[in-house]
Amino acid sequence: METWDWPQRKPGSLPRQWDGL
């Protein structure tokens, strides 16, 4: 799963793939 970019993303903001679900 390439959706573990939380460190680079804002806290509380789910990865783009998760938002697409």
**The pLDDT value given to residue 10:** 60
**The pLDDT value given to residue 5:** 61
Q: Which residues of 1-21 are buried (b: 16+ CB within 10 A; e: fewer)?
A: eeeeeeeeeeeeeebeeeeee
Q: Which residues of the chain have pLDDT under 50?
A: none
pTM of the model: 0.11
